[in-house]
């Protein structure tokens, strides 16, 4: 099937369904200036003062013991508070406003779905606005990080670090459960910016996967479009509005 035919098919599917769910990964935010894991690895590998890799950087012990270096790396990789939503985020938000989409389950922490206007978002790893003091556990939003090179707790003077780091990359089980329920309620699942899914997806449900890399596996109810998610959603949106 040609690219144009796939775009037409996705637009038709979106138009015909009213219980759509989305499952999104890092690939949807690269056009907003936020690197994916491969991009983050490249950035970290170029750092002369650090050789721990992505998971070494996200180790809470490293963040607590080396806060200045951690935050220098964090601002080059995960933390981009000025990033703007791109056509992928915007299209999903528009579908929610039309009551076409039930919600979004995401592995991303960048808040771009909410910034674009989406409200029913289940964040498996939380987001960059969730931060806690490493000692007294006082909660902070990202203002303290935007305004301070190394954020220090106003209550006890200890370092403040992102919640997803403090939790040693543990997912939020309630959000994962809610996201899984969402995906099983859908009559169409849009999977964007990732080649893998968290949790099992119903095999009988129509699915569209949009990503630069091929997924690990495909079932007979899945349409795969290999390409830039921002461009694909932009093309689908234009055609969908004409239907």
- Reported as a single tens digit per residue, the pLDDT across 55-85 is 999 999 999 999 999 999 999 999 999 999 9
Is the per-residue pLDDT at 41 higher than 60? yes
Q: Is 172 helix (H, G, I), strand (E, B) or coil?
A: coil
Is the per-residue pLDDT at 48 higher than 60? yes
Q: How confident is the model at residue 216 (pLDDT cuts 50, 70, 90)?
A: confident
DSSP 26: G
Question: Where is the binding site, in residues?
Answer: 133, 136, 153, 156
Which residue, 26, 67, 85, is CA-closest to 165?
A: 67
Domains annotated on the chain, with CATH: 1-33+85-125+171-242 (3.40.50.1220)
**Contacts by residues 206-213 (CB-CB < 8 Å, ≥ 24 positions apart):** 206/13, 206/17, 208/10, 208/13, 211/25, 211/27, 212/27
Task: Quote the pTM value.
Answer: 0.94
Q: List b or e across 219-240, with b for residues whose CB sees 16 or more CB atoms inside 10 angstroms.
A: eeebebbeebbbbbbbbbbebb
Q: Is 115 helix (H, G, I), strand (E, B) or coil?
A: helix
Question: Where is the binding site for Zn(2+), in residues?
Answer: 133, 136, 153, 156
Question: Across the chain, what does the average pLDDT equal?
Answer: 95
pLDDT for 197 equals: 62
Per the CB < 8 A criterion, the answer to whether 126 and 164 are in contact is yes
pLDDT for 132 equals: 98
Give the contacts of 108 (CB within 8 A, at least 6 positions apart): 24, 25, 26, 28, 29, 123, 125, 127, 193
């Amino acid at each position: 099937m040609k690219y144009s035919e796939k775009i037409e098919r996705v637009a038709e599917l979106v138009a015909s369904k009213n219980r759509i769910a989305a499952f999104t990964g890092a690939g949807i935010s690269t056009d907003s200036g936020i690197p994916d894991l491969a991009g983050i690895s490249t950035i970290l590998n170029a750092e002369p003062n650090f050789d721990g890799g992505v998971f070494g950087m996200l180790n809470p012990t490293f963040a607590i013991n080396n806060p200045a270096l951690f935050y220098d790396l964090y601002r080059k990789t995960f933390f981009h508070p000025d990033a703007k939503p791109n056509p992928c985020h915007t299209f999903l938000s528009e579908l929610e406003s039309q009551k076409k989409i039930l919600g979004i389950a995401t592995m991303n922490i960048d808040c771009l779905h909410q910034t674009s206007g989406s409200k029913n978002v289940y964040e498996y790893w939380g987001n960059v606005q969730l931060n806690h003091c490493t000692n007294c556990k006082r909660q902070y939003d990202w203002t303290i990080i935007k305004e301070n090179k190394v954020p220090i707790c106003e209550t006890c003077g200890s370092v403040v670090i992102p919640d997803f780091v403090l939790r040693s990359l543990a997912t939020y089980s309630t959000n994962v459960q809610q996201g899984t329920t969402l995906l099983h309620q859908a009559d169409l699942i849009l999977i964007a910016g990732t080649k893998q899914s968290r949790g099992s997806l119903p095999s009988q449900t129509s699915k569209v996967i949009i990503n630069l890399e091929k997924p690990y596996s495909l079932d007979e109810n899945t349409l795969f479009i290999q390409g830039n998610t921002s461009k694909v959603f932009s093309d689908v949106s234009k055609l969908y509005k004409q239907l």
